[in-house]
Amino acid sequence: MVVVTELSKSRVPVGVTGAGEWVYLAREGGWSSLAASSPVFLVTVLPQRAAFHSELRSRLVAVGLSPALADTFPIDSSVRLGLTWLTEFWQQAALDWLEREGGGEAFLPELEALVHTGGTPRIRHAARRLGRAARQQTRE
């Protein structure tokens, strides 16, 4: 296992196993799968925007790993956490990510819920717009 980066203000070590699985150092002291556990600190990736992937690629190269591993980072977990978070900041950050990167089809249930529970009218309208676009994509 190779540590690649640290996430959140708590600087949680995040790395990649020899099998290409993204893991983090849990408080209990052992390494846990990012994809399997979706720890709450993953939401902190969202405000970094496109810089996150380029920084992750650079860090992978710096530790001698393929930059292509950045494409396997479980960003979906970050987006899902943001969409279901109770604060407007994280909801908006997740919506902004989806507007830039696309892929709303994978988050239709969360978008539909956010239409009714979003913290602001702006969030509810963006969720409705993205949900409509995602449903249209799935029909095509």
Measure the CA–CA gap between 140 and 79, rounded to whole angstroms: 24
Q: Is residue 124, in this structure, part of any structural domain at all?
A: yes
Q: Is residue 99, in this structure, part of any structural domain at all?
A: yes
Q: Taking residues 121-126, what's their average pLDDT? A: 97
pLDDT tens digits for range 16-66: 999 999 999 998 889 999 988 889 999 999 998 789 999 999 999 999 999
Q: Is residue 120, in this structure, part of any structural domain at all?
A: yes
Secondary structure tally for the chain: helices H, strands E: 6, 4
User: How many domains does the chain divide into?
Assistant: 1
Q: Taking residues 109-114, what's their average pLDDT? A: 96
Q: Is residue 89, in this structure, part of any structural domain at all?
A: yes
Q: Is residue 34, in this structure, part of any structural domain at all?
A: no
Amino acid at 87: T
Backbone angles phi, psi at 66, to 5 degrees: -70, 130
- Is pLDDT above 90 for 124? yes
Measure the CA–CA gap between 77 and 129, rounded to whole angstroms: 21
Domain of 58? 42-138
Q: Is residue 29, in this structure, part of any structural domain at all?
A: no
16: three-class secondary structure by DSSP: strand
pLDDT tens digits for range 56-92: 999 999 999 999 999 999 999 999 999 999 999 999 9
In this predicted structure, what is the pLDDT of residue 28? 81
Q: Is residue 11, in this structure, part of any structural domain at all?
A: no
- Is pLDDT above 80 for 140? no
Q: Is residue 61, in this structure, part of any structural domain at all?
A: yes
Q: Taking residues 88-116, what's their average pLDDT? A: 95
